[in-house]
Amino acid sequence: MSADYDPQEIESRWQATWEAQGVYRANEQGGEPYYLLEMFPYPSGRIHMGHVRNYSIGDAHCRYLRMQGYDVLPPIGWDAFGMPAENAAIKNNSHPGTWTYANIDEMREQLQRMGLSYDWDRELATCHPGYYRWEQKIFLEMLERGVAYRSKQWVNWDPVDQTVLANEQVVDGCGWRSGAPVEKRELESWSIRITDYAEELLEALDQLDAWPDAVRAMQRNWIGRSVGARIDFKVDGVDDLEPVTVFTTRPDTLLGCTYMALAAEHPLALDLAQRAGTTAAVEAFVDQVQAEKNSAGHGEVKEKKGIFTGMYAQHPLLDRKIPIWIANFVLMDYGTGAVMSVPAHDQRDFEFARAYGLDLVPVIQPPDVDEPLVPETMEAAYEGGGQLFNSPGFDGLDYEAAKTAISERLQTMDRGGPTINFRLRDWGVSRQRYWGCPIPVVHCGTCGIVPVPDDELPVELPQDVSFSGAGSPLADHPTWKHVDCPQCGTPAIRETDTFDTFWESSWYFLRYLDPRNETLPFAPEAVAKWFPVNHYIGGVEHACMHLLYARFFTKFLADAGYFETREPFERLTCQGMVIKDGAKMSKSKGNVVDPNEIIDRYGADTARLFMLFAAPPEKELEWNPNGVEGSYRFLKRVWRLGLAAAELPNTPLPETLSKADRELRRSTHWMLKKVSKDIEQHLHFNTAIAAIMEHMNAVNASGLGGELNVHPAVAREAIILSVQALAPFAPHIADELWFRLGGDTPLINCDWPPVDEEAAAADEITIAVQVMGKLRGTVQVPVDAGKDEILAAAKADANVQRHLEGKTIIKEIVVPGRLVNFVAR
RNA sequence: ACGAGCGUGGCGGAACUGGUAGACGCGCUGGAUUUAGGUUCCAGUGGGCUUGCCCGUGGGGGUUCGAUUCCCCCCGCUCGUACCA
C-alpha cells in the first residue's frame, strides 16, 4: 500500500467489496423504510455531467440516511424506449434494441465507476416485455374505465420524428426532441382523460409542501383553471345545427357582445360558410391561417385578421343579431375554439372590432369615471370592474354579482351556465413509431375496438422489422398487424401505434418496488412498505410533463383499486443544470466535459465532492476545472492526515484536556453537528463540506503528521469523525481510511456518530460591541456570562470607551451570545 | 404581458427566527521547501484613506438601537407560459 493517494486503486477495490457484500440491497437493513428515487436515465450511450450531479446528490442523501439507520431503497433503471434508438437503427441498419442494450451496458459500467449505492437487483429497462406488459394492462384498465379513448382530432405532428406529440411536448412551436416546427394534422388517435383529474391535480398541489414552489407554480399555470360561464349561441335562421358554445370568464359583459369569432379549425367554420355561400373566401382564409401557423410556429405580434362567414348568431339575452367571424387569434386548443366578442371590454376584441368596423357596446362603467363610456371615443377596451349599464335586466349590478346573475339566468334558460375551464388538454398518447410499447388493442371490422385479452399480454414488438425512416415500421410490417379478432375470430388488424414514451416513466417508480413480479405489476405488500416515494430528485425540465403524468397515473391507479396513495412523490428536489462558461453543456457549443475523463484523472470521489461542494443542489453549477483541482487537493490532504492519524497510538481520551485539546474537540464536534444539520434541513451539502474543510484546517494546525500539539486520542477522534462525516460525499476514500483507522464494517452500514454536545460547546465566546449600531470592538466572555458581566466587559473595551466619551447611554441592548449595542447621545 | 425566482469580492458561493457581511473553495500576492516545473506548507487578499475610521450585499425610500434579511417603488437577469377569451 503506497503512501500516495491513489483514487483509482482505492475506488475499484471498494466498489468490488461493496458489491460482494451486497451493502446496497434494500429490505435487508431493518429500520424505517425510505424510498429515495432519482429520475432514471435515457440510455443515450454515455452519462453526462447532469447525471453525475443528479446521482451524486441522491447518493449522498442515501448514504447519510443509511448511516441514520433507515432502510433505504435506491433503485436505478433505464427509460429505454424512444426515438434516438430508432434513428440509430435507421442509420446503422440494425435493431433499436441492440443499440439500446449496448448503451445500457456501457452506462451501467459508468455509473458503477462512480460508486453509487444502487440496488442493482432491481434494475429494469422499460423496453423489456416483462416491464411493458404491465403498462399495457394498465392501459386496458383505463380503456375499461373510459379514461382512455380514441378520437379524431387536431394533433401536433412532428415532421422529423414522423409522429404525434402531446401539447406538453411542443416547446415554442417545435418538437421537444427533434426541434422541428410542429404541424397541425387531423388524425385518429388515442387520448387519456387526464382532464378528468385536472381539479385534483391542481388542488393537491397545495398539499405538496416539500415540492419547490416553482414547480408547483408551473403545474398550476399549466393546468390553468378559470372560472366562468359556458354560453350557447344559436345560429340565426338555421334549425339543423347545434348552437355555437363559447367559454368566457366575463359573463358580466355578455350584453356588450357584438360579434363572435371562431378559430380557423373550428368544425363549424366551413359549414357556416357553405350555408352563407362564402365558402371560397373562407376556405382561402382558413388555409392562410393554417399556413401561417405551420411556418411561423409562434408568431407573437401577429396582426389580427378575420373574415365574416356571412352567418349570424342570436344573442341569448337580447334581440340582437351577432355576426359570426373567423379570426386568426382564436385558439382551437383553448376553451371551445369560439369566443363571444365584447370589444368594449376586451382588448383583443377591441382591436379586431376597430380593424373591421364592428360595433362597440360598453356595458361596464369604471367606478372612478363620471361620464358613461362612449364607443366612439374609447381608445382601448376597459377590462376592469364596475357597475353594469346598457344591460337590460342587470343594470346597476356590480360586475362580480352580474357574473353570477347572468350565468344563472342562462342556466335557467338552458342556454349555458356557470362552468370551470381548464387549459390542460387530454393527453394524446399515440405515436406512429416502432421503438415504444404497443397499444394493446385490435381493430375488428365487426366488433370495433377490442382489447387484447389478459392472457395474450404482452403484445410484443416484432423483432424482424425494417426501417425506412418514413412511416410507422409497425404499420409497414408485412404480417405483425394481422391477427384474428379476440372476440369473433374474424381477421382483424392490430393497433400499430405505440405509446408516448412518457407512458413508461409514469409508473416505473412502482415497478421498482417489485420488479420481477410475473403475475402483478407490483405486489400490494411492496407498495405498502415503500410507497409513496419519500424523496425524488431530478431536473426541472419535467415539471409539466413527466411529473404531471406520474401524478395522474398514481391517481388513476388509486381509483382502480391498486392502493390508497394519491400522490407519488412526497418531497421533490430539482437540481440545477451543470453549465460551463455560462452556458449549458452541449455538443454544439463544444463545452462538454466528459465525466469519464474526470474520473480517470481524479477519481469518482473528487468528481462527486466537487459536484456537491460547488453549489447547493437546486442552483446552477458552473463547471470549474480549478475547483475540481481544489476538491482533489482537499482529498489528498484528508488522505495525508488520515494516514498520519492511523500511525498514532489508539488510546482513550485523557481525563484532563489541554486548551488545545478542548479547541480541537470543539472543532470536531461542531463540524459533525453542522454536517448533520445542513444535510437534514436543506440538503445543503456545499456548506456541510465546507464545514469539514474548515475542521480539517484546524486538524492540520494541530501538527498531525509532525509535531503534534494535542493528545493523540484527540487527533484520532478529529480524523475519525471527519472520515465518517465525509462518507456520504466521498465514500471510497472514507472507507479506506476508516479501515486503516481500525474500522471493520463499511461506513454505509455504520451508525452516524453522535455529537458530544459538551465538547462542541465553547467555553468562551466572542461578543460584538456596537455603539449606535456600528461595530466598535469585540470582547471575549465566558459562555455562561450574565448580562452584567457582558456589559462590563463591553464598556471596558478601549475603542468602545472612546466612542462613548462625552455621551450618555440611553439604552443598552444585549443579545445573548451575539452582541451588545449601546445607544448613546 | 402574466407567473415564479434571482441580484453579495476578480469567480463559485456563506450568513440561523433581523444581530460582527464575505464561512469554505477557486483565483491572485508574498514567503518557505524544490535544480526547475509540479506538489506541499505558511502569511495576506471587498474598496478607500489620514491605521481606526469612512464606504460597501442592483438603485431609491421606509420600519428598527441594528437590515443581505422585513415593507414600498424602480432597474437588471434567468426560467416557465404565452392572443388562455
Q: Is the pLDDT of residue A356 over 70?
A: yes
A260 and A285 inside one domain: yes
A721 and A781 inside one domain: no
Read off the pLDDT of residues A676-721 as tens digits, 9 standing for 90 and up.
999 998 899 999 999 999 999 999 999 888 888 999 999 999 999 9
A272 and A359 inside one domain: yes
- The full DSSP string for A563-623 is -S---SEEEEEEEPPEEETTEE--TTTT----HHHHHHHH-HHHHHHHHHHSS-TTS-EE-
d(CA A672, C1' B15) / Å = 19
Confidence (pLDDT) at A617: 93
Dihedral sign for Cα atoms in the order A432, A435, A437, A441: positive
Q: Are strands A441-444 and A448-451 parallel, antiparallel or unpaired?
A: antiparallel
Closest nt to residue A220, judged CA to C1': B3
Residue A300 domain flag: yes
Domain stop point among A391, A422, A453: A422
d(CA A687, C1' B30) / Å = 30
Q: Which nucleotides of B are covered by protein (CB under 7 A)?
A: 3-5, 11-16, 19-21, 23-27, 39-42, 52-54, 65-67, 79-85
Confidence (pLDDT) at A470: 67
Q: CA angle at residue A630 from A625 to A631, to 5 degrees?
A: 100
Provide φ and ψ at A60, rounded to 5°.
Answer: -60, -45
Closest nt to residue A216, judged CA to C1': B4
Q: Which domain holds residue A792?
A: 764-824
Dihedral sign for Cα atoms in the order A540, A544, A548, A550: negative
A669 and A803 inside one domain: no
- Whether residue A723 contacts residue A767, with contact meaning beta carbons closer than 8 Å, is answered with no
A366 and A404 inside one domain: yes
Collapse the DSSP code of A522 into the 3-class scheme (helix H, G, I; strand E, B; otherwise coil) and give the result. coil
A728 and A773 inside one domain: no
Q: Is the pLDDT of residue A299 over 80?
A: no
For residues A530 and A34, give the distance between their C-alpha atoms in angstroms, rounded to a whole number: 7
Read off the pLDDT of residues A721-770 as tens digits, 9 standing for 90 and up.
999 999 999 999 999 999 999 999 999 999 999 999 999 888 888 889 99
Closest nt to residue A696, judged CA to C1': B24
Read off the pLDDT of residues A433-480 as tens digits, 9 standing for 90 and up.
899 999 999 999 999 999 999 999 999 999 988 887 667 889 888 899
Closest CA to A638 of A773, A771, A512, A733: A733
A648 and A785 inside one domain: no
Domain stop point among A710, A740, A760: A760
- Cα–Cα separations (whole angstroms), residue A306 to A21, A41, A256, A347, A566: 72, 47, 20, 16, 46
Residue A146 domain flag: no
d(CA A815, C1' B68) / Å = 20
CATH of the domain at A600: 1.10.730.10
Mean pLDDT of chain A: 91
Read off the pLDDT of residues A569-608 as tens digits, 9 standing for 90 and up.
999 999 998 888 777 887 777 788 899 999 999 999 999 9
d(CA A623, C1' B37) / Å = 26
Closest CA to A440 of A128, A9, A138, A777: A138
For residues A406 and A251, give the distance between their C-alpha atoms in angstroms, rounded to a whole number: 6
Residue A659 domain flag: yes
d(CA A552, C1' B57) / Å = 44
Residue A181 domain flag: no
- Whether residue A265 contacts residue A337, with contact meaning beta carbons closer than 8 Å, is answered with yes
Read off the pLDDT of residues A660-670 as tens digits, 9 standing for 90 and up.
999 999 999 99
Residue A220 domain flag: no
Provide φ and ψ at A289, rounded to 5°.
Answer: -60, -45
- The full DSSP string for A453-503 is PGGG---PPPSS----SSS-HHHH-SSTTEEE-TTT-SEEEE---EE-THH
A773 and A653 inside one domain: no
d(CA A659, C1' B26) / Å = 33
A513: pLDDT confidence band, cut at 50, 70 and 90? Answer: very high
- Whether residue A549 contacts residue A502, with contact meaning beta carbons closer than 8 Å, is answered with yes
For residues A131 and A124, give the distance between their C-alpha atoms in angstroms, rounded to a whole number: 8
Average pLDDT of the segment spanning A399-404: 94
Confidence (pLDDT) at A509: 97
Structural domains in chain A (count): 3
CATH of the domain at A776: 3.10.20.590
Q: Give A682's contacts (C-beta < 8 A, 6+ positions apart).
A: A616
Closest nt to residue A818, judged CA to C1': B19
Closest nt to residue A342, judged CA to C1': B85
d(CA A769, C1' B56) / Å = 20
Collapse the DSSP code of A101 into the 3-class scheme (helix H, G, I; strand E, B; otherwise coil) and give the result. helix
H and E: helices and strands count for chain A: 26, 34
A752 and A778 inside one domain: no
Largest CA distance in chain A: 108
ipTM of predicted complex: 0.94
A733 and A768 inside one domain: no
Closest nt to residue A820, judged CA to C1': B19
Q: Is the pLDDT of residue A301 over 80?
A: no
A750 and A769 inside one domain: no
